[in-house]
A and B are shown apart, each in its own frame.
Chain A
Amino acid sequence: MRSFYGETLANPLMLGTAQYPSPAIMAEAFRASGAAVATVSLRRESGADRAGQGFWALIRDLGVRILPNTAGCHSAKEAITTAQMAREVFQTDWIKLEVIGHADTLQPDVFALVEAAAALTAEGFKVFPYTTEDLIVGERLLDAGCEVLMPWGAPIGSGLGLNNEYGLRSMRAHFPDTPLVVDAGIGLPSHAARAMELGFDAVLLNTAVAKAGDPAAMAAAFARAIEAGRLGLSADPMEPRDMAAPSTPLIGKAFLA
């Protein structure tokens, strides 16, 4: 099993902490999902209400690994500074590096991403870059010191699933030793199962669980789908073919026509 900067995850689901109807429902969804990693962020804090302090206590109680993100950053400089602040607050070298290039698609700015990844790796960060399925960008990210790649399935929050399955399959073939995570765009458990069937090492999702009518039930569904996809791949699937092939033997069939 491929490890994430030397760490093997007990469960290949990385779950976001945003958009749940309540903190209690978020905690319930985490328990149902079995997720080993929670993504979190940083925002402005008010000295009066100190909202972040309560959230931090809740996250600590989940007992999962923390993966801070640089969501909303639009330049390498902004992402680097945010990562530095996140490392201090969350006490982890792990950083989900997002450098957003386009406001509508939330597509990563892969040029700034590579620049930020190199700078952060030099500072000792373990970078999880949110990228596209572009192979050359993937190579540049590995050159920059990344040991994990996280291509999108579809635009963040869209729930469209794996928009470019060919591209994701190509990534798996091109980077056989690199841990790969589908990050963003997953809407249904079947999308997550498919990512695992393609040989991905984990999936990262948030909205699909948080915005479901019953987040805990959806979290449980994702847990099973991910397990099914992984188990199916390890069981060595049959090759698909274009023509039918009878599964029932013809030998010994009676002549009744």
Chain B
Amino acid sequence: MKIVLNGEATELEAATLDAALVELGFTEAKVATAVNEAFVAAPARAGFALSEGDRLEILAPMQGG
């Protein structure tokens, strides 16, 4: 299915959020996720089904003031 990952159209085979993270190369990465502008906590990723057109944000630590 096609989703929007961090603002860019992305083709995805995974059907759930945890599988999507593995497919996208985030295994064991320190990241937080939001789907359609709502936070999805790490424990909720396994059962979280993704749908066509979902907007997925994957954020990680970065420099800040």
Q: Is the CB of A85 within 8 A of B29?
A: no
Q: Is the CB of A59 within 8 A of B42?
A: no
Identify the closest chain B residue to A47 (Cβ): B25
Q: Is B37 an interface residue (CB 8 A)?
A: yes
| B residues less than 8 Å from A132 (CB atoms) | none
Q: Is the CB of B62 within 8 A of A85?
A: no
Q: Which of B7, B58, B64 has the most A CB atoms < 10 Å from its CB? A: B64
Q: Is B6 an interface residue (CB 8 A)?
A: yes
Q: In angstroms, how far is the closest chain B Cβ from the Cβ of A225?
A: 19
Q: In angstroms, how far is the closest chain B Cβ from the Cβ of A52?
A: 3
Identify the closest chain B residue to A82 (Cβ): B59
Q: Is the CB of B63 within 8 A of A89?
A: no
Q: Is the CB of A88 within 8 A of B25?
A: no
**How far does the alpha carbon of A45 sit from the alpha carbon of B34 in the complex, in Å?**
12
**How far does the alpha carbon of A50 sit from the alpha carbon of B28 in the complex, in Å?**
11
A-B pairs with lowest CB-CB distance, top 10: A52-B60, A41-B64, A47-B25, A206-B65, A16-B65, A85-B32, A45-B60, A18-B63, A43-B62, A84-B39
Q: Is the CB of A53 within 8 A of B25?
A: no
Q: Is the CB of A69 within 8 A of B64?
A: yes
Q: Is the CB of B64 within 8 A of A16?
A: yes
Q: Is the CB of B60 within 8 A of A56?
A: yes
Partner of B60, one of A48, A81, A89: A89
Q: Is B57 an interface residue (CB 8 A)?
A: yes
Q: Is A44 an interface residue (CB 8 A)?
A: yes
A75-100 near B? 1/0 per residue, CB < 8 Å: 00110010011101110000000000
Q: In angstroms, how far is the closest chain A Cβ from the Cβ of B37?
A: 6
Q: In angstroms, how far is the closest chain B Cβ from the Cβ of A75?
A: 10
A32-72 near B? 1/0 per residue, CB < 8 Å: 00000001111111111011110110010000000011010
